[in-house]
Amino acid sequence: MTKARFYSKGIEGYPGGKGMKKKERGSEGEETKRKNSKKLLSVAMAVILVSSALIAFAPLAVAGITSFTIAPDKGEAGAVSAYTATINTTGFTLLDMTIPAGFEAVPPGGGELLAETWAWDDEGNGYYMTFTANGTDKIDLYCACGSDEVNYTFDAGYGEGDSINLSVRCWGTAYANLTLPTSTVNGSLNMSLGGSSKKLTNVSISIKEFVRNPAECGNYTFNVIIDNTYFDSDTVWITAAVQSINITSPVNRTYASTCVRLNFTVESDCVVALAWVGYSLDGAANVTIEGNTTVPVGAPPYGHNIVVYATDIHGNTVASDTVFFTIHPGDINFDDKVWVWDVWLMRGAYGSRPGDGNWNEDADLDCNDHVWAGDVFILRSNYNNKY
């Protein structure tokens, strides 16, 4: 979709865009302009309420809806977000929507652009609208269609449970009622274009950063009914930002293996969705991993360190504390040499797996959860070594 660009002579990209030249009072076009302005106002009121009610969160894959897209499709708990949504339909006049508890509007300071909207009706008329904060309790609407334009200011509240009620005399009686959700009670949007034969078809809404996501992580379900017939629901995935990483293995000790088991936990107040995880051994380049893994260490030197990094889906990256550890291959009894006592420990654990009575993790020199021939080979290769 091509976004309209303003010029001194009109709006590019919309039907009849021949400029915003004002007609003289009493001219034969004055009555037409006044009627069109009413139509624009009715559609504009409906669309701003739809956008305020976060219609962007309701992908409607049902009959009468041909496509719906939204970006981004995930949010961070408690964050103030911006959303862009595009919905294409066969046309509708009635909309009822349930807004999950937890979402809230962020009061503007005044003068900020709250949203931009592009809309079309089933007769091919195009509308471009901007919504600008006028102080903290009003919104200025600018709407343009072809060579016509309208400016209007209406009251708006942003607190929990606030309700905005509008009735516009056009095409019969057009009305909209928006009730904002609270932390525990759902909100709602009820909208009607009245007795008009016109229907809204394509709507694209760009909401700026004036929506605060719920503080609690989880999936939030939005329910929508269109024209008392088509019902659908969808969820928004709210996650937390990654806060810290805690390495539980390895720890600051000596290992007889030629590898270490890398285990870690990601700390946050609730569910964390990670986009990337990796580690750096001894300051080398990061190695991407899926989660807990085994890290090969290999030949001397024997002192090592490791750091784990994680980036969440919101782009936040954190690093764990650096863990230092020592590798003495084959030294199962940790007396700083590979000798007969290590052979006896290997023999005692030979054939075992985790959970067996004779399992000895320190004898699992290749970190594969099975004391077997590979471990014997490593022990033999390092026999007589002193550390």
- Give the domain ranges of the chain: 5-238, 244-381
- Whether 299 has a pLDDT exceeding 80, the answer reads no
Give percent of the chain with pLDDT exceeding 70. 80
Mean pLDDT in residue range 359-372: 97
pLDDT of residue 280: 98
- Whether 116 has a pLDDT exceeding 60, the answer reads yes
What are φ and ψ of residue 257, in 5° steps? -85, 170
Mean pLDDT in residue range 91-117: 86
pLDDT of residue 42: 41
Mean pLDDT in residue range 163-185: 71
Query: Would you state the CATH architecture of domain 244-381?
Result: Sandwich (2.60)
Comparison of pLDDT for 39 and 331, the residue scoring more: 331
- Whether 208 has a pLDDT exceeding 50, the answer reads yes
- Where is average pLDDT lowest: 55-59, 61-65, 250-254, 367-371? 55-59
pLDDT of residue 21: 35
Comparison of pLDDT for 229 and 40, the residue scoring more: 229
Mean pLDDT in residue range 271-278: 91
What are φ and ψ of residue 226, in 5° steps? -115, 130
- Whether 29 has a pLDDT exceeding 70, the answer reads no
Comparison of pLDDT for 215 and 7, the residue scoring more: 215
- Whether 301 has a pLDDT exceeding 80, the answer reads yes
pLDDT of residue 131: 84
Mean pLDDT in residue range 213-242: 85
In angstroms, the Cα distances linking 205 to 84, 141, 325 are: 6, 14, 54
- Average pLDDT, whole number, for the chain? 79
Is the model's pTM score more than 0.75?
A: no
What are φ and ψ of residue 336, in 5° steps? 70, 20
pLDDT of residue 10: 28
Mean pLDDT in residue range 275-284: 96
